[in-house]
Amino acid sequence: MKKYFVLTLLFALPIVAYLFFSSGINHFAILPTLTKPISEIDNFHTFQNEEVRLKDHISVLFFMGNRVKEMEGHAFNLNEKIYDKNYQFKDFQFVVLAENGQEQAAQDLLNQLGATIDVKNWKFAFGSQRDIQRIFESLQTPLQLNEGGANEHVFIIDKELALRGRKDEEDKSLVENYGYDTSSVAELSNIMSDDIKVILAEYRLATKGNAIKDNDEKL
């Protein structure tokens, strides 16, 4: 038990210190669950016919519908403020849902996003407007897709298909929207960035805890 305690302390302290000194209001917190389960990505196809799933991934979910070209600026904000700092985390991905027929526009956007960074974890999935609407409605937020099947907010989905976000009264706009406005650099930098740190730290700590437990059982 003493050995187990010491090992746990050695692994846990850096994570706790990281949460303490990182900016934002969610110190030591687990990012709240707002809705679950979210519908899985079915009946969609990708550029290379690779499988894209939300289950067992930490996902930033983005709805572009048939407005991929119009959403480029939002994607650049997200790429710079969130993706660039976190894309190397295992099982972390950005999933963009777009309508059939938007493949070329999506490829052009992906090429631009990849000019300065590896975009391997940007996943574009194409499907019908009906299937995109089905997944959006499963989020159960007050928001709506526009006439092009797009929304400028993005959503954090955890490995268990749960929508994660803030519930505290200080962030009333986020409570209403359950998402993060990609048109606002300040919101991405100061709020979403902090929430991403929290959920990634949560999974890091869980992974390290499981590794310690496995090693202890082998001793």
Q: What is the DSSP string of 139-174?
A: T--S----TTS--SEEEEE-TTS-EE---SGGGHHH
- pLDDT tens for the chain, 219 residues: list them: 555 555 555 665 555 554 444 444 444 468 999 999 999 999 999 998 888 999 999 999 999 999 999 999 999 999 999 999 999 998 999 999 999 999 999 999 999 999 989 999 999 999 999 999 999 999 999 999 999 999 999 999 999 999 999 876 556 666 567 899 999 999 999 999 999 999 999 988 876 655 444 444 444
3-state secondary structure of 75: helix
End-to-end CA distance of the chain: 12
Choose among 201, 217, 218, 212: nearest CA to 31: 201
pLDDT of amino acid 8:
57
pLDDT at 10: 63
Q: Is the overall model pTM greater than 0.85, yes or no? A: no
Instruction: Give DSSP secondary structure letters for 188-206.
Output: IIIIIHHHHHHHHHHHHHH
Residue-level pLDDT at 48: 84
Contact 98, 68 (CB under 8 A): yes
The SS3 assignment for 138 reads helix
State how far the Cα of 194 lies from the Cα of 197, in Å rounded to an integer.
Answer: 5
Q: Left if phi > 0, otherwise alpha if psi is -120 to 50, otherwise beta: which for 210?
A: alpha
My answer on whether omega of the bond before 37 falls inside 30° of 0, hence cis, is yes
- Distance between CA atoms of 68 and 61, rounded to whole angstroms? 14
Which CATH code is given to the segment(s) 26-190?
3.40.30.10
- Please write down the HEC assignment for all residues of 102-129: CHHHHHHHHHHHCCCCCCCCEEEEEECH
